A and B are shown apart, each in its own frame.
Chain A
Amino acid sequence: MTLPDGQEEEAQGDAGAAPETPPPAEAAAPTPKPAAERPARPAKEAEPKEAPRIPPPAGSINEILAAAVPGVAMLAYMVPTLQGEAVAVEVGRDDLVPVMTAARDDKRLDLKYLRCLSGVDWQDEGLEVVYHLSSFTTRHQLTVKTRVTYDDPVVPSLASLFPAANWHERETRDMFGIVFDGHPNLVPLLLPDDMTDHFPLRKDNPLQEIEEWQGENLREGAGEGEE
């Protein structure tokens, strides 16, 4: 991770062989190749800091959603899926329940299946809850996101709307300290019962030194084609 830039570039440019192919016969064969390719390879451009936010094309499901919930402020963009792209919307936490209710009950959307609920710690930009919805009938997929601050990490609970959210919300409270207002039983699920003031997946909660060391140390060999 903390390699000097130049060294990293070198590792990058050395393409061709599988990083971990053990049979020497195979490792030897592709070595001349990258040399031939190297001139064609463009200079590595600086990595973008943020993913591009491409707005959804006209007629996407975010329009149905916006029409179903009048006056909702929504930022919509496309996110990749394995099959192509899907719509993602960011809403304020006060709009979360109306938006999720509309997504579930509107017949054109019929997003009844809450497949995943995740917390993300964006540090200075607050805590985020991400809902992945999909439908078995209309085949739509929708990602809904909402953000809260560290000082007031309260999000309305969706456990009564989507029973599937029940355990996910408890897990997210354990890991991120996000309080789901209205949850029927918001007690620790994965963590011990008395561990209510310590949120392991927040970024300000570092790994133990030994675990960081393992990561660094094992990575040393990762680029060298060792097994």
Chain B
Amino acid sequence: MVAEHEQGLDIVDMPINMGPQHPSTHGVFRMVLVISGEKVVDVTPHIGYMHRGGEKLMEAMDYRQGIGYADRTEYLAQFSAELGYCLAVEKLMGIEVPERAEYIRIILTELNRLSSHFMFMGAFGIDSGLFGTSFTYAFREREYIQDVFEEVSGDRLMYAYFRVGGLAWEVTDNFTQRVHEVLKKTQKGIKDLDDLLTKNEIFMARCQNIGAFTADRAIAYGLSGPLLRASGVNWDLRRDEPYSIYPRFTFQIPVGNYGDVYDRYLVRLEEMRQSVSIIEQALEKLPPEGPIVPEKMPRRLRTPPGEVYAKVESPRGEWGVYLVSKGGDKPYRLKMRSPSFCNLSALREMTVGQFLADAVMILGSMDIVLCDVDR
């Protein structure tokens, strides 16, 4: 650890504390970096500041109440979390979701992917040193989508709009028209961010060849979502282990070549374009009317004993729910497999050997949600 400098001065590895309150940690997260010169030689992440025992609380809540807790763990992709939770319960109960509800679910989930990726673009721009420019652009776009969610669900953040079996209530009358309007703005927004960031020389210099992860290591570390695809693994649950009605849509899966921070950005950018395309297809096929909950829906949700592992492709990767039931109206055990948690566990591997200044970029490129990490 201690090296003799040629002029007789001692050089020691220096630990630097980052967080828990730090603008670049995207939440309450602390890491202790040990640096030698400018290079990072060790990283110790400390998590758990936001741990609220959601899994324990969900064991005391019945299946309908649990939806709200799914929201609160993944607060940037709430619809993905709600969808994963509902799919798990529906599978155990053997409920078929009506057509119209399926389409509305997909439209909202993909819009949520857009808003989440906009959030990433904005925050990542700040991390890379662009200050507020990309942030203001991205947040303007995110706000349009947020407005649609608010109109539909009545809430800006914790929607709790999906229900086991379908949806809580019918969407607003002008829903399709509103989504079309927002998509038009969104497409322009994606182009704006593309113009602003993709070929930006400073941005490229800060992103390329940083935090690279090979496909083998990405699989071994259990990465998922854009991080896994950026490493060159052609894998997307929406296509490869399809759930809901995803097989009805055609879309491309962007895959990176180098697995570095820049690839992760490019993968997300392309994913946004694909999401727009999925929403357009879904709007075209959306049945104009029909039930949004199954006709024979029990009032009190009870599952037979059994277990199921349900997973959806959230904007951050595989959001899974391992649901164990002993019968009755509450889960016996509910484990949330959060993509943020699994991706963050590879932070040390990605950061060691990189420059200190790049550690922020690597953390930013993971696009973690700390509530989802700690649950």
Contact = CB atoms under 8 A, between A and B. Distances in A.
A14 interface: yes
B169 A190 contact: no
A19 B64 contact: yes
B21 interface: no
Main secondary structure on B side of the interface with A: loop
Contacts of B308: 79-82
Given A164-B345, A167-B345, A136 B235 contact: yes
Interface in A154-173: 162-164, 166-168, 171
A222 B64 contact: yes
A83 B328 CA distance: 24
Contacts of A11: 299-300
B299 A166 contact: no
Interface residues of B, number: 70
A168 B341 CA distance: 9
A114 B241 CA distance: 16
A47 B374 contact: no
B57 A211 contact: yes
Contact of A118 (B163, B333, B345): B333
Contacts of A164: 220-222, 342, 345
Interface string A184-227: 00001111100000001100000100011001001100110100
Given A12-B299, A33-B295, A167-B342, A48 B241 contact: no
A18 B166 contact: yes
B235 A115 contact: no
Contacts of A18: 163, 166, 168-169, 292-293, 297
B48 A15 contact: no
A112 interface: yes
A48 B303 CA distance: 10
Contacts of A225: 299
Contact of B335 (A37, A81, A116, A167): A116
Contact of A162 (B222, B240, B306): B222
A51 B304 contact: yes
Interface in B47-77: 47-48, 51, 53, 55-57, 60-62, 64-65
A26 interface: yes
A212 B330 CA distance: 13
Contacts of B375: 190
